[in-house]
Amino acid sequence: MTDCLFCKILAGEIPSDTVYSDSTVTAFRDINPVAPTHILVVPNKHIRAVSELEEEDEQLVGHLFTVARTLAEEEGIEESGYRLIINNGPDAGQVVFHLHLHLIGGHKMQYPMG
């Protein structure tokens, strides 16, 4: 998608601090982090939101979580804990309409959410 911020990052048109990339997923640091570790794990395939996932995307979505777990280990937050968030739609706080998983950690999280 030519107007999608994340598609432009994936195409190399906009710079990012990429921490992981393979044929299906790319992960980069959020430019407005809410915690010491705030990484976005993004499918290379443009999918607008969770609500637009197809059955064929099941393996891809699982891979997002596997990559997040690996990155949490690399960031040294796997033992203390971390939060994984996917926002779906504007009321949930989705701002970029390209499916992405937030990996957030490095300090104690607030509860309750919402």
Q: How do the domains of the chain map onto residue ranges?
A: 1-37+51-82
Catalytic residue among 38, 100, 102, 107: 100
100 is catalytic: yes
- Preceding omega of 112 cis (within 30 degrees of 0): yes
- Please check whether the domain covering 1-37+51-82 is classified as CATH 3.40.50.150: no
What pLDDT score was predicted for residue 52?
96
Q: Is the pLDDT of residue 1 over 90?
A: no
Q: Is the pLDDT of residue 16 over 70?
A: yes
In whole angstroms, give the CA distance from residue 49 to residue 102: 14
What pLDDT score was predicted for residue 104?
98
Q: Which of the four pLDDT bands, split at 50, 70 and 90, describes residue 2?
A: confident
In whole angstroms, give the CA distance from residue 114 to residue 103: 17
Q: Which of the four pLDDT bands, split at 50, 70 and 90, describes residue 99?
A: very high
Q: Is the pLDDT of residue 50 over 80?
A: yes
